Amino acid sequence: MWVVALGCFAAIHALNLSADFPNHSPWAADWAKYTDEGWYGNAAVRAHLFGNWYIPGDFNLAAAVPVWPFLEWVLFFFTGVTVEAARGLAVGVFFLNLALSYLLLRRSGPRWMALLALTLAVTSPFLFAFSRLAILEPLLTAFLLAALNLAVRVGGMRRPLRASVGIGLLFTLMVLTKTTAVFLLPALGWALLLPLWRNRKLAWRCAAAAGGTFAVAFGGWMALLLATGLFADYNYYFFINKYIKPPEFYWPALSLWWSLRGCLWVDHILAPLAGLAVAGAALGWRSRRARALLLDPVFGASALVVAGCVFFMTYQNHPQPRYYTVAAFFCFFMVAQAAHALLGQEGGGLARRLGWAFAGLTALAAGLNGAATLNYAAHPEYTFVDAAGRLAQYMDQHPNGKRLLLSISGDEITLVSHVPSLCDDFGTLDLVSKLGRYQPGWFATWNDIDPGTLEDLHSRYSLEQVASFRAFDHPERNVLVLFKLHPWPDGRLRDPSAENLQVPLPGDRIEIPIE
């Protein structure tokens, strides 16, 4: 009955895949639902719709993170380009993650412990929201879980070096799925080396085999980028993800605090319980069970995965809910393993009573989360796909120059409605040069116009606001506004050094704020 219930909860992740990211959720401000699905899959979408995955000067993320767009590209041969197919691939990866989680936890614990962790995963409204988006984190989690399953079993294999080569290849796929995978390397190293620590020679040989495989595979990808002239696009990926740090010397402490608080996005009960499990095991080091828990490869690796995610967001000073998607699985692992360690105490001592209290809080969280997940699943909304479809329909019914849309959410709109697009905010070409090269006829923005973007647009165009479409829930990004772009007479360019182009000009029709 437990397994059937798990299957039912897992299955609802695959329903209504074109629906919005849950509106009015605690993660409403996350930009992934507006942009990331389109950005990270744009190579696959362009290749199928327009015949070429690469647009010079635009946002070409496949140079840095090629694995997800490659999988989408293969999938679209069978399904066509649809947002449901892209999200269905992500849900399929989520199902794979559940299976890999079970295999990992069964290596060091009973069946009920593994099923408890899966219960926390399938009932989590946080994972329900983000596992249904065609973003990178679910696939990164899958490769990490596969690598950890190999790592914790290397010591018992007949050919441990071959398994270590597999770990190196999986880590290469992790880095080529999402570059933040480098912050997960300590977790993978812990899981590989700890079981082999009594055989130091074998441990270092396995580490060398995994590291050497990664160096060769990743070096081959770098050589390919250099040979094809795509290294500038690869380097740009890091340029845009470099955030300006505050001038105060104590900013890392504040950033760490906010990154730790961000774990509450995962769950207000389970994330603190995971932290208490680590702290309690560390304080109870002299206890045999506490020591066994801390030295368990899976528990230690889980703690290091969460620590790696928090450290990355502290360094970036930019915590976002979607970044915790990887950490969520491993928080649930720690809770399940801690419950097993406490309830496994013999007799009726304090530890066992704590275990029942721990299990009670875990059950309470699972019940509340299950109700929230069912509520999200039972009330799908389709505001964005409706807005993107009506935007495309308006463009077709009111032609204006080239049928090319400029927008921060352009790739997302292309995924849904197949309208060709460019990104107005990112790209190896500056916006003024991009406008001159591609001459779009349309521009779309959310709620307001950035004055810098307006200045660049004004160098070549006047703007006519022609339509707006309500979508999503965030008060600063819940109206998608469409503009026609009209070239200035005689194709002349306006000079921002000679006049203020950050304000409405004669010939404009702009009704939304400029801010």
Q: Kindly report the CATH number assigned to the domain that includes residue 452.
A: 3.40.190
Residues 251 and 336 in one domain: yes
Looking at 137-151, 264-278, 489-503, which range is the least confident one?
Answer: 489-503
pLDDT at 345: 61
More confident of the two residues 66 and 284: 66
Residues 265 and 362 in one domain: yes
Q: Are 170 and 72 in contact (CB under 8 A)?
A: no
Q: Is residue 24 part of a domain?
A: no
pLDDT at 80: 97
pLDDT at 42: 97
Which of 368, 392, 425 terminates a domain? The answer is: 368
Give CA–CA dist 502/515, Å, rounded: 10
Which of 368, 396, 425 terminates a domain? The answer is: 368
pLDDT at 350: 75
Count how many domains the chain has.
Answer: 2
Is residue 272 very low, low, confident or very high in pLDDT (cuts 50, 70, 90)?
very high
Q: Is the pLDDT of residue 62 over 70?
A: yes
To which H or E segment does residue 465 belong? Answer: strand 461-474
The predicted model gives 99-120 an average pLDDT of 96
Q: Is residue 89 part of a domain?
A: yes
- SS3 category, 402: coil
Angle at the Cα of 397 from the Cα atoms of 394 and 398, rounded to 5 degrees:
80
Own/partner contacts of 375-382, CB < 8 Å, gap of 24 or more, are: 376/22, 376/25, 376/125, 376/128, 376/129, 377/12, 377/15, 377/16, 377/128, 380/15, 380/16, 380/19, 380/20, 381/19, 381/20, 381/23, 382/18, 382/19, 382/20
Q: Is residue 162 part of a domain?
A: yes
pLDDT at 346: 57
pLDDT at 36: 95
Residues 154 and 283 in one domain: yes
- State the pTM of this model: 0.96
Residues 139 and 44 in one domain: yes
pLDDT at 354: 84
The predicted model gives 218-247 an average pLDDT of 93
Q: Is residue 462 part of a domain?
A: yes
Residues 91 and 126 in one domain: yes
Q: Is the pLDDT of residue 378 over 60?
A: yes
Could you report the per-residue pLDDT of 137-182, keeping only the tens digit for each? 999 999 999 999 999 999 888 899 999 999 999 999 999 999 999 9
Give CA–CA dist 91/326, Å, rounded: 14
Count of H helices and E strands in the chain? 21, 5
> Quick one: CA dihedral 149, 151, 153, 154, positive or negative?
positive
Q: Is residue 506 part of a domain?
A: no
To which H or E segment does residue 461 belong? Answer: strand 461-474
Residues 468 and 404 in one domain: yes
Report DSSP letters for 132-177, one per residue.
Answer: TS--SHHHHHHHHHHHHHHHTTGGGSS-HHHHHHHHHHHHHHHHHH
Could you report the per-residue pLDDT of 8-60, keeping only the tens digit for each? 999 999 999 999 999 999 999 999 999 999 999 999 999 999 999 999 999 99
CB-based contacts of 46: which residues, under 8 Å, 6+ apart?
Answer: 52, 53, 54, 55, 414
- Which amino acid makes up residue 14? A
Q: Are 385 and 422 in contact (CB under 8 A)?
A: no
Q: Is the pLDDT of residue 352 over 80?
A: no
Residues of the domain holding 454: 384-491
Q: Is residue 52 part of a domain?
A: yes
The predicted model gives 326-354 an average pLDDT of 85
